[in-house]
Structure 1
Amino acid sequence: MFIHSESYARFCKLLTLAEEVFAAGNFLAAVRLAQMAARYAFPGNVGLFGSPRLERLLLDIGKEIPVASVCGVQHHDENMRKVLHILSYGRPVGGDSRFVWRWIQEDRNNQHFVAITSQDEIEGDHEFPEILRRSTENSGGFLWMPNASTSNPLEQARELRVLCQEMDIVVLHLFPYDIVPLLALAVGCDSIKTIFVNHSDHTFWIGASVAHFVVHLRRQSPLFLRNRRGLNSEKFSILPIPLHFSPSSVTRVQAKRELGYESDIVLLLTIAAPFKYSSPGQIGFLDLVVPVISENPQTVLLAVGPDPEGSWLSASILTEGRIVPLGTQYDNDLLYAAADVYLDSVPFSSITSVLEAGALGVPLIGYFPNPELELLGAGAPGLDNAMELANDMKSYQALLTRLIRDEEFRRRSGERVQSQILSLHTGDNWLNALHDLYVRVESINVRGCLMEDNDSFESSRLNLALVQLYRRSWNIGQLIRNFIGILPYRDRFSITWHLYLMGFDLTISNLLPPPFYAATLGIARRMKSLIRQIRQSR
């Protein structure tokens, strides 16, 4: 499967229609089409990693949202900044929410607020992380969500703009296709310093046009940033991911016994979302580790994320139960304490989990076979020259075998990576890096980090890998239903039919009059709920 120019042509057609609808004064329809285009482009489906054209349209739409009368109110204490962190979702899993609450916990000299734009759209059965709320309130701030529904991003953006205008610094920790903060910051907030955190550095994303500064979490190719994202290479810095380090309260031997393993068992650990282990058509994680575990009967692998089904169940059977897929679980402290070796997910790294293991002195091993896919691999300050890396199957299996059998090698490797990570991701060094970031962004007066005016299409191996990894990405018919189906009937009918004439799928439900449309949606919701219940009962 390749990224063809047809996908990019479709994206351009969506933007052209959105621009025409905007010019006609239908701002809600225009913004829904823009949302649809952003979602269609993610993760790299259309051969883009950024779209200056889409960002210009969103800025134009945002400027049509009325500006509140109060702008740029500063905090009464000049020594304490008011910092607003904007997220798309608050989640107990994944590195983005954890990044925010740890930032807040470490930065005790400033007051922090959290705004979440799309919590009611979060996929899966995730509880809101109360630690995020507590951390915010302990700093003197509060948690905010818009009153307006996600079906009305214009009103959401108006509400968010009012909040932004009361802040000193706004930090964007967004899902790549979240357009609401761009609309909010399009006008009336130029004096509010804005930082965009590039936590999805391997995918398409938008937001650089409203930022004074871009923060990367690891080294980036200047050529990639300029040519594929259109970014100004002078308006960025690297901020290590903050870690809350505290030595384990139990020894490794004690932790193993609590988990039911003897002290002589070499316990391997891996933690990541299940899709990060998906590698159709190429060498995968289980291809690398199953032969090694089979040859080393004193070894057990615990895998948090994957469920005991499919290839993982087969691998467990093949190794007589010594590969243990545990599914999703949130409290993994005991597993980290018990681990002898941490195995990064393949082909897509889970960087926060890698850092958390390495901070405890657990040696790390990763697989990096293709330089063109560097952004899918492990990378962060502290990992360079400390993590054990292999670039082919033979060397990976040799490294893993040595880590299993050579206790002294494990100890030295773990100590080296722990020293590097703790020196950069915790304590005063991390706080100094954050302080330098604040000072630097406060010295910048011109908003906007984009250098290019035009989109830059390219079909690359990274785009192909992203399409394979994110196979659950919505198809165009689903996008039309989700984004256009919410519009008033006349607009819904007109735009759906217009898209069909432009070569898009015909979404018949969008053509139905309101009573029939509502009935169709009700049936679809009940079927989706039934399917979810059946899956959960298995």
Structure 2
Amino acid sequence: MLDLIKRNSFFFDNCLNLANIFFEKGQYNFALKFIRQIAYFATFNQTGYYASWKLEQLLSKVSSKLNFNITNKFNNFKLESNEGQFNVLHVVSEIYLTGGHTKLMKNWILNDKENSHSIVSTSMNYKSFKEVLIHYNLESNSNYYLNGNIVEKAVQLRSLSVNYDRIVLHIHQYDIIPNLAFSNYKSKVILLNHADHTFWVGVSVANVIAQIRNSNIELDAVRRGIDIKQFYLPIPISKLEEKNRQKKESVKKSLGLSDDSIILLTIASAYKFKPNNHKNFFLDIVDILNSDKKIIIFIIGVTEDDVFVIKHPQIIYLGVLTNIKEYELIADIYLESYPLGSFTSTLEAMKKQTPVHLMYSPEDCIRFFSDSNDEFKYPKDFIEWKKKLLTLIKNENKYREKIIFFQNKYLKNNNLIDAWNLKLQNIYNTNYVNSKFKEDLSYKTKNEIFMMNYMHNKNIFSFKLLLKNTSFFNYFLFWNVISHIFILKVQTKMNKLKNSNM
């Protein structure tokens, strides 16, 4: 595993050097294609980097060479300003009908009623963009999409942003367009960290980082070298919901479930359940199911065709669903997925006052709650996890009600609208400063090794895509530099062998 991280970081570093050579030769568009490929590679392959200041500095250099005064569709765009109200522009790469990332943006907009919000997509076509906006009741906002190549989109984004008081980045980890638009430019940019476990770009153009996990503030100051203000901004919850007992019984009956059945529910993308050497959700849950035939578990996000699942008569795999209300209603207990948790699904269960059973012994890089939350904390091992889950199933000493009490306490202090709005206003009104470029750091600890199980870990750097429609000069220069890097690598290995034989 460590060798693979080292190889990936070596590949990343040398490709970045290659992109820098293209920049120095004045081949800016080709350099940008290369940088985007590098960022994409680092997102899905463990390089040990969580940020690359060297990559972002190169983007800043390219940005300084671009002409942002050229005519584009937002040149004459003017947005009305209302006194005491911020115009907020949410920049997305793509948004989806399902998934937590899109819901983060939706919740921000719908719960921040004091300000005006717009959305702009860097990567979607009009039809797909509008479909998702309608699904989330966001089509009434002033919304836009960018078109053209990378440079044209960056120019459009900067022109559009002039009309806004605050800019929020909800972008893909490898989306370099905001970096081009906001480098060397005075703006007030908030970056929402929705992918805290992996590499992402944008750290150099952000003036403020909004963290959805409180523990990330300290982590990212070190591993990403963040020296600007960071704020904890949890997922907002409008109100706690009460379950309708009669409707719950009716839905259970319609699904063919007996009145005395005990319903467990878990929701996450399939890859989050992929077993590793230490945790196997399916083996663990089978152990629980075998203790009582009345226990049924519904798993949303996973199908029976996924290679790592275990088939069992009391496990019902539902795959990806857009409407999950019935299953949320009938759930007696919500189980956090593991080895990787889905905090958006976990918080939704807490919001509906379903007792949540957290995974045991999470890695630091995925720990969402702190252990100072009274009884609502992570079990230290499988034995404790099993014991507490069986207590929840039997509801000994009204244990479910006890857990719900501590969940509600946590939500009132952090996620409910009054607490959340106070946190958001602190972000809007803070002093916005720029980051300073610094040295890159590559980490090779147990956290990086753990996350390798949930990344592609294969070379998805597409030379074919990179060289498509390129000039003969760029083609010749590319292979000239590649061969030079290969020769250097061979020489380094030969020197190591020579030294070891001395």
Give the TM-score normalised by the residue count of structure 2: 0.88
The equivalent position to 2:159 in structure 1, one of 139, 162, 167, is: 162
Give the superposition deviation at 1:488: 4.6
Give the superposition deviation at 1:423: 4.5
Q: Which residue of structure 2 lines up, in the alignment, with residue 404 of structure 1? A: 393
Change (3 A) 1:186 1:79: same
Identity %: 24
Give the superposition deviation at 1:310: 4.8
Q: Which one-letter code corresponds to 2:142 in the other structure?
A: F
Q: Which residue of structure 1 lines up, in the alignment, with residue 450 of structure 2? A: 465
Q: Which residue of structure 1 lines up, in the alignment, with residue 99 of structure 2? A: 94
Deviations, residues 216-261 of structure 1 (Å, cap 9, x unaligned): 11222565323311111x5111111123446357323334234332
Q: Is the 8 A contact 1:312 1:325 kept in 2?
A: no
Q: Is the 8 A contact 1:44 1:203 kept in 2?
A: no
Q: Which one-letter code corresponds to 1:247 in the other structure?
A: E
What CA distance in whole angstroms lies between the structure 2 residues aligned with 1:224 and 1:246? 31
Deviations, residues 150-175 of structure 1 (Å, cap 9, x unaligned): xx211111111111111110001122
What CA distance in whole angstroms lies between the structure 2 residues aligned with 1:72 and 1:62? 22
Deviations, residues 346-371 of structure 1 (Å, cap 9, x unaligned): 0111000000001111111122425x
Q: Which one-letter code corresponds to 1:458 in the other structure?
A: Y
- Counterpart check, 1:13 vs 2:10: no
Q: Which residue of structure 2 lines up, in the alignment, with residue 375 of structure 1? A: 365
What CA distance in whole angstroms lies between the structure 2 residues aligned with 1:95 and 1:392? 27
Q: Which residue of structure 2 lines up, in the alignment, with residue 202 of structure 1? A: 197
Unpaired segments ≥5 residues, structure 1: 505-538
Q: Structure 1 runs of 4+ off > 6 angstroms? A: 69-74
Deviations, residues 187-216 of structure 1 (Å, cap 9, x unaligned): 34x0x3110111111111121111111111
Stretch moving more, 100-109 or 420-429: 420-429
Q: Which residue of structure 1 lines up, in the alignment, with residue 39 of structure 2? A: 38
Q: Which residue of structure 2 lines up, in the alignment, with residue 111 of structure 1? A: 116
Q: Which residue of structure 1 lines up, in the alignment, with residue 497 of structure 2? A: none
Q: Which one-letter code corresponds to 1:169 in the other structure?
A: R
Q: Is the 8 A contact 1:361 1:414 kept in 2?
A: yes
Specify the SS of the correspondent of 1:421: helix
The equivalent position to 2:434 in structure 1, one of 430, 435, 447, is: 447
- Counterpart check, 1:280 vs 2:276: yes
Give the superposition deviation at 1:57: 0.6
For these two proteins, the number of residue pairs brought into alignment is 478
Deviations, residues 395-415 of structure 1 (Å, cap 9, x unaligned): 111111111112611122123
Q: Which residue of structure 1 lines up, in the alignment, with residue 418 of structure 2? A: 428
What CA distance in whole angstroms lies between the structure 1 residues aligned with 2:300 and 2:77? 45
What CA distance in whole angstroms lies between the structure 1 residues aligned with 2:250 and 2:191? 42
Stretch moving more, 386-395 or 247-256: 247-256
Q: Which residue of structure 2 lines up, in the alignment, with residue 257 of structure 1? A: 253
Q: Which residue of structure 1 lines up, in the alignment, with residue 299 of structure 2? A: 303
Q: Is the 8 A contact 2:296 2:314 kept in 1?
A: yes
Q: Which one-letter code corresponds to 1:60 in the other structure?
A: K
Unpaired segments ≥5 residues, structure 2: 488-502
Deviations, residues 439-460 of structure 1 (Å, cap 9, x unaligned): 11xx32x322x5x511112212
Q: Which residue of structure 1 lines up, in the alignment, with residue 459 of structure 2? A: 475
Specify the SS of the correspondent of 1:270: strand
Q: Is the 8 A contact 1:33 1:484 kept in 2?
A: no
Q: Is the 8 A contact 1:146 1:160 kept in 2?
A: yes
What CA distance in whole angstroms lies between the structure 1 residues aligned with 2:438 and 2:309? 50
Change (3 A) 1:75 1:295: same
Change (3 A) 1:263 1:412: farther
What CA distance in whole angstroms lies between the structure 2 residues aligned with 1:281 and 1:259? 36
Give the aligned CA root-mean-square deviation in angstroms.
2.8
Q: Is the 8 A contact 1:215 1:239 kept in 2?
A: yes
Specify the SS of the correspondent of 2:429: helix
Q: Which residue of structure 1 lines up, in the alignment, with residue 206 of structure 2? A: 211
Q: Which residue of structure 2 lines up, in the alignment, with residue 130 of structure 1? A: 133
Change (3 A) 1:484 1:398: farther
Change (3 A) 1:37 1:5: same
Specify the SS of the correspondent of 1:315: coil
Deviations, residues 110-165 of structure 1 (Å, cap 9, x unaligned): 111101112369xxx9994234763252xxx32211121xxx21111111111111
Q: Which one-letter code corresponds to 1:485 in the other structure?
A: K
- Counterpart check, 1:337 vs 2:326: no
Deviations, residues 378-436 of structure 1 (Å, cap 9, x unaligned): 338x9944535222121111111111112611122123213422442232222222122
Specify the SS of the correspondent of 1:134: coil
Give the superposition deviation at 1:54: 0.7
Q: Which residue of structure 2 lines up, in the alignment, with residue 535 of structure 1? A: none
What CA distance in whole angstroms lies between the structure 2 residues aligned with 1:132 and 1:196? 25
Change (3 A) 1:136 1:130: closer
Stretch moving more, 59-68 or 22-31: 59-68
The equivalent position to 2:316 in structure 1, one of 320, 324, 331, is: 324
Change (3 A) 1:86 1:158: same
Q: Which residue of structure 2 lines up, in the alignment, with residue 390 of structure 1? A: 379
What CA distance in whole angstroms lies between the structure 1 residues aligned with 2:242 and 2:339? 29
Specify the SS of the correspondent of 1:42: helix
Q: Is the 8 A contact 1:240 1:424 kept in 2?
A: yes
Q: Which one-letter code corresponds to 1:438 in the other structure?
A: Y
Q: Is the 8 A contact 2:251 2:330 kept in 1?
A: yes
